[in-house]
Each structure stands twice: as structure tokens, then as C-alpha cells.
Amino acid sequence: MKRILITYLLLALTACASFAQHTLAGKIEFERRVNIHAQLAEMENNSWFEKMKSQIPKFNSSYFDMLFDSTRSIYKPGREVEGNTVFKMFGGGPATENTVLTDFRAGIIKATKTVFEQKFFVQDSIRVIEWKEKDEIRTIANFKCHKAVGIICDSVYVVAFYTEDIPVSGGPEMFGGLPGMIMELAIPRLHTTWIATKIEPTAPKETDFTITEKGKKVTEKELYESVYDSFKKWGAMAARNVWWTVL
């Protein structure tokens, strides 16, 4: 009897250890940090910025939540940051209100995006990025993460750190396609990073995976073409606004 009890105990401990190594469902909070000084310095006429530089914070943060299980994820605005009006005025970008629902099993992504006054509802197949693995490893929110790099919009460089301990091929915004959850994302040309600050291993409810299908219905390509036509008169600012929109 003692031997049987020991065997059962060992099996239970092994199962617990195996489960602990992989998080299959939960909630991730991402902090998005934007270098406002770097963004404004790229403006064609930044003499005003040079005068006001000391009164504008260099960085500003906003928070987003991503709930996920093995088949779906939803990324949406999270907790408000008190006194964050400066962020909205200087370089916050139209991606501030994005909500993105990804169905990994069906290979479909749905997203609501507000671009200034216009609302879009994007429905398309999951974006494919040709990621290249790198050797660098870092720890993010207590998870071991591997580095990968990729390109969006033909020339915009993206850096990601993902963990195989969360075997869900997702990430912030419309990013994914790696053999694990993206825990940190950087887009240098937007002077912006997303990093996981905390994880709650609580399975989301079915009602959490809902999205309002309001706005002009477009594919990802149609969204790009629409906003490009709108912004092309903005000069150097045009490309950055397009990149923000198609995240």
C-alpha cells in the first residue's frame, strides 16, 4: 500500500511539474512605451518641439490586456494611466484603441481600429511574418524568452522575444506566428516597445472573446491602401501614421 501511495504521489508531482512548465491560458498585461521625444524630433519642422522639449516627458506608457487560451486570444486597451493626456496629444498614435481577436484554430483575425475620426473593422487571415531566429535570450516576467526579428510593410524592422513556456502563437496587436507567446515587441522606427509586465494564469471566460464589428469592413491590405491614400499628403509623417494603423 505504501508503495502504491508513493507511486501515485510521484505521478501527481510529475503532472504538476509538467503543467507548471507551460501556461496554456491566462491574462497578460502589456506596457507600451513610446519615446515621444524621438518621434517629435522626426517632424519636418521641429523648432517648436526644441522650445517645448523640457516640458514634454521623454517616454509615456499605456497598458493593454491580452486574454488567451490554446485556440484564441483577444488584445484590448487595459487600465488607464492617470495624467496620460500628454500621450494622446504627442505621438500616441491611432493604435491606442485597438482591439484584436485572433482565432488560431480557424486562422482568422478580427480587429477594430480607430484612425482619427474613422472606424475600421478588419477581418482577414492571420498575418504571416517571415521571422528569423536569433541567439539572444532574456527573461521577461519570469519567462525565458528567445529573440526573433521580422519585417512588416516591406521595410519596417520588428524585434520580438517569445517564450515556448506559453505554447500559444500570439502576441500584442496583430503579431504572432512564433512557436510561443510574444512577451516583448519593439518597432524601432515607431520608437515603441510592448513588454509583458505581469501574467495571471486564470482561464478567460467564453464571453471575454467578443468584439464589436462596427466600422468600415476591410481586409488588412484594404486598410493599408485606405489610410495610405489619406496620409500621403502628410510628407514624412505619412509613413509613420500608416505603420501605426496597420499594427
131-187 residue pLDDT tens:
999 999 999 999 999 999 999 998 999 999 999 999 999 999 999 999 999 999 999
Is the dihedral angle over the CA atoms 103, 105, 107, 108 positive or is it negative? negative
The torsion angles phi and psi of 130, rounded to 5 degrees, stand at -85, 85
Strand, helix or coil at 147? Answer: strand
Residue 133 in grid coordinates:
531566429
For the chain, the 3-state helix, strand and coil shares in percent, each to the nearest 5, are: 30, 40, 30
4 pLDDT tier (thresholds 50, 70, 90): very low
Is CATH 3.40.50 correct for 25-245?
Answer: no
H-assigned helices in 33-84 = 36-41, 47-52
The torsion angles phi and psi of 85, rounded to 5 degrees, stand at -65, -30
239's CB contacts (< 8 A; 6+ apart) are none
- At residue 53, does pLDDT exceed 50? yes
Give the span between the Cα atoms of 192 and 203, in whole angstroms: 29
Give the span between the Cα atoms of 158 and 147, in whole angstroms: 11
- At residue 71, does pLDDT exceed 60? yes
pTM, two decimals, is 0.85
H-assigned helices in 92-219 = none
Nearest Cα neighbor of 191 from 136, 240, 245 is 240
Give the span between the Cα atoms of 208 and 231, in whole angstroms: 34
